[in-house]
Structure 1
């Protein structure tokens, strides 16, 4: 009997928050806002953390100021420093952007233009092997073509689908040009790893969005054919079958990266009276708000481990984790953990995009240590002990702080109860665990905080079938993958 091969040790990867996106006629540059543009010493600090692979920008918007005219002075210096310190770059070309001023995500020439720039980058740095031509194309398409926040500020399914397909076509065209220079170049495709929860009335919308979240993966992997659940949606939004056929005829990504944030899990709620401070949207059938599930679900949310092991689609381990409990209970032999875990997606820190933006503290120390199966209490105790010893919170006290956000409900005050979650437990698997009120309120009471439910009647027996149907999509998960 042959011995089982020992899995390769996990690598520790990192990255630099390098978004350059356009709002109106203004470009917002995170490299300048965070100060990394002026601090070459950050590369030495990153190397000292033990990181060996770094996502690093050679961004189209910063390099090509006019068509065909490139200024590689800044990336020349930085990539030379990375190479001198033994760091392997994953070169990114577009990061939540829409290209220079002479193009945008809806431009039919966008794929060809990005491919031309990618070829110029490959000829300039023929030793670079890993590329991410477009970061998180589905997220960028939502914010630019569906929500209207970023340029070109459209709000329609047709614009969203065109922006998404254009980015996927551009990714394939860029890799084709890069491989003409470096045949062994590899595509690292990244996308947000999240999920959508909802009240029973909005179950149909949550099911649609949970299917749509995999669309960029499926397009680049050539999975979107006539049998795909999103095929009719794409064709109805004006995407030609020829475009989908082109995407099916190219090789898939060499590595998939899942970016999981604390706000990646969303909650759709049609009870607008609970959110007087939030603008409501809609889909033509219902009006509702889209909020971060972490703000309204006190416990039982699906975290990265559960999302990675969803039977709907196998995905790789998350490459980036932002604030919040990761709940990654897996061993090194987990088949989904193939290459690496990223300890930080914004190692030098970053700022939000408001005029007087708040900053996020840079990473000071990283340690790659997956927890062993010793129980939640042991893991939580170790985290707390490490947090008390960590110097970063003490150094950060002089930095501007955002006022602490409350969960929705009545303002805090003497005798006021803390509102934990709406009247339906959105993340509770049907038929599992204690009754919803007990499960929902047990966390705050364990920590000695008062809590109340908005609508206890929602848990009564007449609502039980609706609640069970609303969250039946989670009941298919294996018991080992549920948060305990």
Structure 2
């Protein structure tokens, strides 16, 4: 009987663990193990809830950094991030307290936190505007916002030159809608013109701020966090209002990424104050830096509009996968799942795994998903009513409660990290390590 090649291999090398196999293969790395700080690794993150809009027509500031105890427990919070096994943190500097006026800043709190973050080797994704502005800027109807915010972005980049990841303006669409069309925050308007005005000022602020950061950090990575929304209409005949509303959810990213819009959306913008010159300015081209499209998804982002006008939550009719796939097909940007949670602490572990399965499916289908965020590190307050009133209701959606005790989802996240923590940012991601080379516009070939 002829000798098998396996007999010859085993005689030479033994049974497995062949020289060279440690570089990948039958016995190579499979992605298990807690995350490392390698730039080729998938980015697992959490975030510190940092919203600071005003309510009651500017008389009351909802500062969630204060209400959730971060100003008191910031050091503990940073250490909890590391103890959980994470290296990436979505972190919002308190813009409303830091930018005191044109050219005037108070860095006392940011400096303290940023020093500790650097010492712990936490990679921050700096969130520079989260639902509110300093009192002296008024609100999002102020046309001076883009210029002043750009100065602030430049000052942040100058002060923390080691930071590379930024979200200049968090959830632009939600910020404009809730402030100027739903009448809940800041200017508390209920008008399409107010909404368009807020939207264009916010997008312009993001673009100008990104340009100023790029002057100091040409290789910056912008992870735009935008709400992944959809309204299903449970009516035999679709109404034009809902059809247009499902197009308006793209408005912020269309303006940000210079994506031409359909005629009805253009007419809506023109009818509500966007001039031709402003439109042309937005369409001139997208901002600098490596652009990542972050999509936030909560089950409450997806609604069913009932025949009687009522609404019900529609989580997982489409889910993060299908809604984000729409956004990806539109913009063709690398994707990050930038926010998710659920307000039921017992259901949170299952929700975490469902979101992770969405991500694995998306990656399997060839979409470059670069990261995932459970938002936030701790429980939140009054987000069940969008911060509209100061009721003090604790939303048990954090990895830890407000006493900094772990919730069940923290244990589930740790398990997820141990199983997947060293997968590459994309398959064969070793080929595409993030380098220090300056970002430049990519052209399709």
Q: Considering the TM-score relative to the shorter chain, is it more than 0.5? A: yes
1:391-447 deviations in Å (ceiling 9; x for gaps): xxxxxxxxxxxxxxxxxxxxxxxxxxxxxxxxxxxxxxxxxxxxxxxxxxxxxxxxx
Is 1:212–2:254 an aligned residue pair? no
**How far is 1:199 from its partner?**
2.3
Is 1:36–2:70 an aligned residue pair? yes
**How far is 1:203 from its partner?**
3.9
Give the match for residue 52 of structure 1. Answer: 87
RMSD: 2.6
**How far is 1:65 from its partner?**
3.2
Q: 1:76/1:307 Cα in 2 relative to 1: closer, same or farther (>3 Å)?
A: same
Q: Which runs of 5+ in 1 are unaligned?
A: 272-287, 295-299, 373-484
Q: When the two structures are superposed, what TM-score results if normalisation uses the length of structure 1?
A: 0.66
Alignment of 1:290-369 (within 5 A): 290-294=311-315, 301-310=317-326, 313=330, 316-323=335-342, 325=351, 326=354, 328-329=357-358, 330-331=360-361, 332-342=363-373, 344-352=374-382, 353=387, 354-361=389-396, 362-363=398-399, 364=406, 365=410, 366-367=413-414, 369=416
- Aligned to 2:255, what secondary structure does the other structure show? helix
**How far is 1:355 from its partner?**
2.7
- Aligned to 1:152, what secondary structure does the other structure show? coil
Q: Is the 8 A contact 2:64 2:381 kept in 1?
A: yes
Is 1:263–2:293 an aligned residue pair? no
Alignment of 1:470-481 (within 5 A): none
Is 1:137–2:172 an aligned residue pair? yes
Is 1:246–2:281 an aligned residue pair? yes
Give the match for residue 284 of structure 1. Answer: none
Mapped partners of 1:178, 1:103: distance in 2: 24
What is the aligned residue count? 345
- Aligned to 1:126, what secondary structure does the other structure show? coil
Mapped partners of 2:115, 2:200: distance in 1: 34
Mapped partners of 1:216, 1:64: distance in 2: 24
Mapped partners of 1:182, 1:141: distance in 2: 28
Give the match for residue 10 of structure 1. Answer: 42
**How far is 1:317 from its partner?**
4.5
Q: Is the 8 A contact 1:224 1:230 kept in 2?
A: no
Mapped partners of 2:65, 2:111: distance in 1: 16
Give the match for residue 224 of structure 1. Answer: 260
**How far is 1:168 from its partner?**
0.4
1:6-25 deviations in Å (ceiling 9; x for gaps): 99653211111100001122
Q: Is the 8 A contact 2:99 2:134 kept in 1?
A: no
Say which structure, 1 or 2, has more relative contact order (CA 8 Å, 6+ apart): 2
Give the match for residue 391 of structure 1. Answer: none
